[in-house]
Amino acid sequence: MAWRFPVTAHDYSRLAASRLPRFLSDYVDGGAGDEQTLRANDAAWAAVTLCQRVLVDVDGVDTTTTLVGQSCAMPLALAPVGLAGMMARRGEVQAARAARAVGVPFTLSTVGICPLEELHAAGVDPVWFQLYMLRDRGIVQALLQRAWAAGCRTLVFTVDLPLPGMRHRDTRNGLGAGSVRARMLKIIDLLSRPGWVRDVGLRGKPHVFGSLAQQVPGARDLDAFKAWVDSQFDPSVTWADIDWLRAQWPGTLLLKGILDADDARAAVRCGAQGLVVSNHGGRQLDGVAATANKLPCIVEAVGTQAEVLVDGGIRSGVDVLRALALGANGVLIGRPWVWALAAGGEQALADMLARWRRELRLAMTMAGVRRIADIDAGVLDVSSNTDNGSATT
């Protein structure tokens, strides 16, 4: 069976679902609304056809590169994922260790379970830190100062969450609800996963948003933390607030959630060194375009003024090559690393990342390129991509 010897992202997702309580596996897997954009993200990469080349000297293919000044074994970083510490015991620390072992950056979410200081103490520096613009700017300043003190030098600022998306799976599972029925649903889910209860539920405490514990001292469980965070999302944020943020943060700034060329140009004007083409993994506004389809126009809009990364539906090393061929400097992955972590912890994630690197190396070999810098639109089979209506048309 595939989940005995997981190989692909899909294999890991099946194994993760067999080990996690349903309300957690649905939290990871689900999207907004009818999940049209969630499905479109995956399909758009599959529609990008590569060009196979033969009898080209591809001895010594090298997948190493830099992302916003940081050396990487391949052009990939682990995206911020909230509640990742609920998917495995002290999950963010395990994931950061795996990322460091393989040689790629890890991004800690503001709503991660492990605090900044725990990762710093684990010796996994440097990590990237993801931030939302909260209504209380004093808290934002305090988080920035803590991130800097913990060794973070790259800030990933999420701009596409003025309000939480309508995620129906979470509502059906009672996630974030405090009613008796919601609590009973979670208890039933937990009883079906005794292994998770022992390993994560009991041994993985505390289950709070670690980096926010000082800001929400009265909160004692995730429901209370979630209610506080939801009240802090600020729909009044504008580009002027990004100017303010740029003045507060002395390090590298990436804006995550760009899906429009004009917004990409505005991000550059605000001093962002990089941006992430993202629709939040299909978790915010259902019906928006797949990231693969928006990537080329955004790359064209910013040129060499900022590095462009992309996320959403990337499921293999071959997809990494596709993203680079469409102009990205690198990719972020979210669900795949969480699936691997939930399936088998730090080692499973390290294995998956190493396999993706081998997939990327093989894909580069078959496409006739030896270095990341050599990857461009020439890697694409333009006639096939035009016929299927993909992102290159």
Question: Hey, which residues are catalytic here?
Answer: 280
For residue 3, what pLDDT is reported?
Answer: 54
Which of the 8 DSSP states describes residue 197?
I
- Radius of gyration (C-alpha) of the chain in whole angstroms: 20
Q: Is 388 helix (H, G, I), strand (E, B) or coil?
A: coil
DSSP 236-265: T--HHHHHHHHHH--SEEEEEEE-SHHHHH
Q: Which helix (H) or strand (E) holds 310?
A: strand 307-310
Helices (H), the chain: 9-19, 22-29, 36-46, 91-102, 116-121, 137-149, 168-172, 180-191, 194-196, 222-232, 239-248, 261-269, 291-302, 317-325, 335-367, 382-387
| Interatomic CA distance for residues 386 and 381, integer angstroms | 9
pLDDT for residue 387: 46
User: Which domains are present in the chain?
Assistant: 9-387 (3.20.20.70)
Question: Looking at beta carbons, which pairs linking 275-278 to residues 24 or more positions away fall under 8 Å?
Answer: 275/302, 275/306, 275/307, 275/308, 275/309, 276/156, 276/309, 276/310, 276/311, 276/332, 277/308, 277/309, 277/310, 277/311, 277/312, 277/328, 278/160, 278/310, 278/311, 278/312, 278/332
A 10 A CB-CB count for 54 gives 7
The pLDDT tens digits along the chain (393 residues) read 445 789 999 999 999 999 999 999 999 999 999 999 999 999 999 999 999 999 999 999 999 999 999 999 999 999 999 999 999 999 999 999 999 999 999 999 999 999 999 999 999 988 999 999 888 899 999 999 999 999 999 999 999 998 889 999 998 988 777 678 888 888 999 999 999 999 999 999 999 889 988 877 665 667 777 777 778 888 899 999 999 999 999 999 999 999 999 999 999 999 999 999 999 999 999 999 999 999 999 999 999 999 999 999 999 999 999 999 999 999 999 999 999 999 999 999 999 999 999 999 999 999 999 999 999 999 999 876 654 444 443
Which pLDDT does position 345 carry in this prediction? 97
